[in-house]
Structure 1
Amino acid sequence: MIVLAGGVAASMLMGCEKHEAQATAVPVPAMKPAPPTPIDTKKAEVGGSTWDPEWDKIVELALPPAMLSSQVPHDVRRFCPAFYGMAEDDKRAFWAYFFQALAGAEAGLEPTVQAKHAQPEMMVKDDVTGRPGRTSGLLQLTYEDQKRYGCDFDWEHDKKLKVGDPDRTILQPKNNLECGVKILDKQIIEKRKALLSASGYWSTLRPGTVSYRVFAKQMTNVPAACRKESGRKVVSR
């Protein structure tokens, strides 16, 4: 039987723990920043909330593998003709741009925006808050999305804070954007719906609507890699 001195044993234990941490560490994927949307460029010129580059990273790290694969519906080529042949870091940058455009159309890039809607289709009561027609944050989400999609929102915490308080969990960009990725993943991958669908979560992604035209205008400066397939132009109408 060999008995190790305390210092040697502790050193060996620390070495094992370090090796285990290295073995289980998840590698950070290659990422690229997204270009600015027209609204982001305009706000940078005249003042106002602009898109934080750190939000690109939030979106890109939240993307599941399926959203970087051929499982993405073909109408993605309306905005990114070369999508299926692009490298993964270019695909991540495209999705970061997509969500920046969505946030521009939904909330003007303002992370603390909360809206009350009067449209009949929006007046359904939120099962979590008991309030109808209210949406919040960059992507204008609801507390019910926590139950539906597993989003990191906490109404019990948030209801104690003032409306528009950035400490509300639903208004924190990380929570809001990660939730948006989950919602879109469920729509286009799990349910196999088109990216642009009349029954999609966001009215901004429903072709033929006024809000869709607002969104489409923001999709006119997609990453350059999107345009490299056969010289095709990006269609945003």
Structure 2
Amino acid sequence: MNRGLRVAVALVVGMAAPIVAAGCGKHEAQATAAAVPAPAMKPAPPTPIDTKKAEVGGPTWDPEWDKIVELALPPAMLSGQVPHDVRRFCPAFYGMAEDDKRAFWAYFFQALAGAEAGLEPTVQAKHAQPEMAVKDEVTGHQSRTSGLLQLTYGDQKRYGCDFDWDHDKKLKIDDPDRTILQPKNNLECGVKILDHQLIEKHKPLLSSSGYWSTLRPGTVSYRVFAKQMTNVPAACRVAGGRKVASR
């Protein structure tokens, strides 16, 4: 083999080696990611509105939505950083196993969706209250709340939610293909909003300045929400082996 050919072969082999190594590294990373087990999860019990709608007909809570909420929860929302007023609904929260805490939050968001939207993913609303009758900074129109948790496109900018106004504005207002109406996007955004309130801002779960009016004590909306929080997971009502009455 002449020198020129040997150099060419060496260059090809030398260039191929990093590619092969990179390919191996990629497969190893994929294998490692695939090997990470999903967190332990439990299904949440039905809220009163979910039970009622199952009996008389109407939109009900999809058990798959429990998984969406539970997988979206950041570690801090399963820790002692959660404000103490969580015990109003889940007295045993701090001593519960992680899967029970996940189930509680899944139930919490089911109750919130029941109070906010009657468990209907495509519900839209305009509000007459001055604090709500503002221009949405993303759409440029008067703010409208949408989906299971009644969120806005402005939440995309504020909380990094997976909403796409450029895509959605081409669809009918109640089209389930709108990104803001898709339960996964809506619920994951809700988790981000609550995490921001509880963990980043260190505000209580129930606050007069909270995002949702349903979590503002003393309001009619709050009473609607509280009625949905009467069937929390059994682990919430247990402390030291004894049942604790819900407040």
Computed over aligned residues only, the root mean square deviation of the Cα atoms, in angstroms, reads 1.8
Aligned counterparts of 1:182 and 1:20: Cα–Cα separation in 2: 27
- The letter for the 1-side match of 2:91 is P
Q: 1:25-79: per-residue Cα shift (whole Å, max 9, x none)?
A: 3421000000000000000000000000000000000000000000000000000
Distance 1:214 1:57 in 2: 25
**8 Å Cα contact 2:123/2:146 also seen in 1:** yes
* 1:68 correspondence with 2:78: yes
Pick from 170, 176, 188: which aligns with 1:178? 188
1:23 aligns with 2:32: yes
Q: Is the 8 A contact 1:206 1:212 kept in 2?
A: yes
In the alignment, does 2:161 pair up with 1:151? yes
One-letter amino acid of the structure 1 residue matched with residue 235 of structure 2: A
The answer on 1:234 being equivalent to 2:246 is yes
**Which TM-score applies when normalising by structure 2?**
0.88
Contact 1:40–1:51 under 8 Å retained in 2: yes
Paired residue for 1:78, among 76, 88, 112? 88
Aligned amino acid, residue 137 of structure 1: G
By how many angstroms is 1:20 displaced? 3.2
Q: Determine which structure has more spread, i.e. the larger CA radius of gyration.
A: 2
1:40 — aligned with what? 50
The TM-score, its normalising length taken from structure 1, stands at 0.91
Q: Distance in 2 between matches of 1:186 and 1:202?
A: 13
Letter in 2 for 1:101: A
Unpaired runs of at least 5, structure 2: 1-20
**Residue matched to 1:223:** 233
Whether contact under 8 Å (1:118, 1:133) holds in the other structure is: no
Structure 1 segments of 4+ aligned residues over 6 angstroms from their partners = 12-16
- Give percent identity, aligned residues only: 83
Provide the rounded CA distance (Å) in 2 between the counterparts of 1:14 and 1:186.
Answer: 39
Q: Post-superposition shift, 1:24?
A: 2.9
**1:14: Cα distance to partner?**
8.1
Return the alpha-carbon distance in structure 2 between the equivalents of residues 144 and 158 of structure 1: 14
Alignment correspondent of 1:212: 222
Pick closer, same or farther for the CA change 1:15–1:216 going to 2, 3 Å.
Answer: same
- 1:165 paired residue among 154, 175, 181: 175
Please give the secondary structure, in 1, of the residue aligned with 2:223.
Answer: helix
Unaligned ranges ≥5, structure 1: 1-11
